[in-house]
């Protein structure tokens, strides 16, 4: 939006223009094909729910929920996926937005090497370290827990 402004510095016959930019910008919105960072909130037998926190490198301002279905956890041996050994509540995951899903949640996938758990806390509260594609280890206790680990990029 532009508007004319009278200004003492402007010579007669000239006009200045002022551009007004809205201060209320909308945060990032997940779209199919975008990579998101989400916090797992609930793990069930056939899916996990997560709150989307970032789309690409931009944080979201509204609440968006994602669902990772059992068939979208990894690309191979889909029928052998155990959701409880892939994710735990509180895990931070990098995922691909597959589609808008239903009215409640976006469908997310971790079926690529660079997708999956990027940060997890052990029961003792230590930040776990990935030691393989399927395991993370607590540096405090040495305890190993199963996860669908994202390849570091």
- pLDDT given at position 103: 75
Q: What is the DSSP string of the chain?
A: -EEEE--TTSPTT--EEEE---S--------TT-EEEEEEEEE-SSEEEEEEEEETTEEEEEEEEEEEEGGGS-SS-GGG--GGGT--TT-EEEEEEEE--SSS-EEEE--STT-EEEE-B-TTSPBPEE-SSSEEE-TTT--EEE--BPPP-
Q: Quote the longest CA-to-CA distance of the chain.
A: 79
| Residues forming a β-bridge with 51 | 39, 65
| Number of C-beta neighbours around residue 151 at 10 A | 13
- pLDDT given at position 19: 63
pTM of the model: 0.80
Which tens digit of pLDDT belongs to each residue from 78-127? 889 999 999 999 999 999 999 987 778 999 999 999 999 999 999 888 89
One of 3.30.390.30, 3.30.565.10, 2.40.50.140, 3.30.930.10 is the CATH number of 29-146, namely: 2.40.50.140
Which tens digit of pLDDT belongs to each residue from 4-54? 444 455 566 677 666 655 545 567 889 999 999 999 999 999 999 999 999
- pLDDT given at position 9: 57
- pLDDT given at position 152: 79
Q: Is the pLDDT of residue 132 over 50?
A: yes
């Amino acid at each position: 939006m532009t508007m004319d402004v009278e200004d003492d510095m402007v010579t007669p016959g000239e006009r200045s223009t002022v551009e007004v930019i809205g201060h209320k910008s909308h945060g990032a919105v997940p779209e199919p094909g975008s990579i998101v960072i989400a916090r797992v909130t609930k793990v069930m037998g056939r899916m996990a729910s997560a709150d989307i926190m970032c789309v690409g490198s931009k944080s979201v301002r509204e609440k968006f929920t994602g669902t990772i279905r059992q068939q979208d956890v990894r690309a191979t041996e889909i029928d052998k996926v155990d959701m409880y050994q892939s994710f735990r509540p509180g895990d931070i995951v990098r995922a691909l937005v597959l589609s808008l899903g239903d009215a409640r949640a976006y469908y997310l996938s971790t079926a690529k090497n660079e997708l999956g758990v990027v940060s997890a806390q052990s029961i003792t509260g230590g930040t776990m370290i990935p030691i393989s594609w399927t395991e993370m280890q607590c540096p405090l206790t040495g305890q190993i827990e199963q996860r669908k680990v994202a390849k570091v990029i």
